[in-house]
């Protein structure tokens, strides 16, 4: 099939044809209750797909609710949203489930993903280790967004970086997953990181 931007009669690209935006898959990941669903919902330009279920007594002793006792729902499969960055770039956002028993879904969700935002909660920072390790082991570029909950202890970017033992080049950003501009800024930081990594990649001989 010919490209919509290609003029078959002249064999040239048609500058007046509509430009097709590049589609990029991005994961919004992290532990249980860090704000993944909130972030996708805050930033998506379409009605987000959510697979949330009520937390019931069945999860007692299975899900660690310490620090997030007021949480009443949980993602059991994925969240999905979309945001257009500009006329050349559209991001498709896939929020991962946070509980350990649903982590088998991460491999499928991460297939084809260009990068990830790992959300962290300073009330339960140790819960971020597994997500960081997941992407480091698979070589998927990521940035860490520290979701600043109202009642959470405050730490500097460098303190979070040291606590998570991150690579010096991994971006860390303080953010508010409820705020559209803040969430969008986290995605822009990730995209800048991906562009920088692409520029550092060796050129095949």
What pLDDT band is residue 49 in, cutting at 50, 70 and 90?
confident
How much is the mean pLDDT over the chain?
81
> In the predicted model, what is the mean pLDDT of residues 153-161?
94
Q: Over range 13-34, report the average pLDDT.
A: 79
Q: In which residue are the tokens 């690209």 written?
A: 13
- The whole-number pLDDT of residue 81 equals 94
In order of 5, 13, 19, 173, 189, the CA distances from 185 in angstroms are 31, 34, 25, 9, 6
Whole-number Å distance between alpha carbons of 132 and 120: 10
Instruction: Please measure the distance between the N-terminal and C-terminal CA atoms of the chain and give it in whole angstroms.
Output: 31
Rounded to two decimals, what is the model's pTM?
Answer: 0.77
Summarize pLDDT for 107-133 with one digit per residue, the tens.
Answer: 988 999 999 999 999 998 988 999 999
Using the predicted structure, report yes or no on whether residue 187 has a pLDDT greater than 60.
yes
Cβ–Cβ < 8 Å for 55, 161: no
């Amino acid at each position: 099939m010919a490209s919509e931007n290609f003029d078959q009669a002249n064999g040239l690209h048609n500058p007046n044809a509509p430009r097709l935006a590049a589609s990029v898959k991005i994961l919004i990941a992290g532990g249980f209750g860090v704000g993944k669903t909130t972030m996708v919902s805050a930033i998506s330009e379409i009605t987000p797909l959510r697979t949330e279920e009520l937390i019931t007594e069945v999860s007692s002793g299975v899900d660690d609710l310490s620090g997030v006792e007021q949480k009443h729902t949980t993602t059991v499969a994925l969240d999905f949203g979309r945001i257009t960055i500009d006329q050349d770039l559209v991001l498709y956002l896939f929020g991962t489930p946070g509980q350990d028993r649903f982590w088998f879904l991460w491999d499928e969700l991460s297939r084809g993903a260009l990068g990830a935002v790992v959300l962290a909660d300073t009330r339960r920072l140790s819960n971020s280790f597994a997500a960081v390790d997941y992407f480091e082991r698979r070589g998927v570029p990521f940035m860490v967004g520290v979701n600043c909950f109202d009642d959470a202890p405050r730490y500097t970017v460098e303190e979070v970086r040291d606590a998570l033992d991150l690579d010096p080049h991994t971006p860390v950003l303080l953010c508010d997953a409820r705020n559209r501009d803040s969430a969008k800024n986290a995605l822009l930081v990730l995209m800048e990181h991906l562009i920088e990594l692409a520029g550092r990649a060796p050129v095949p001989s």
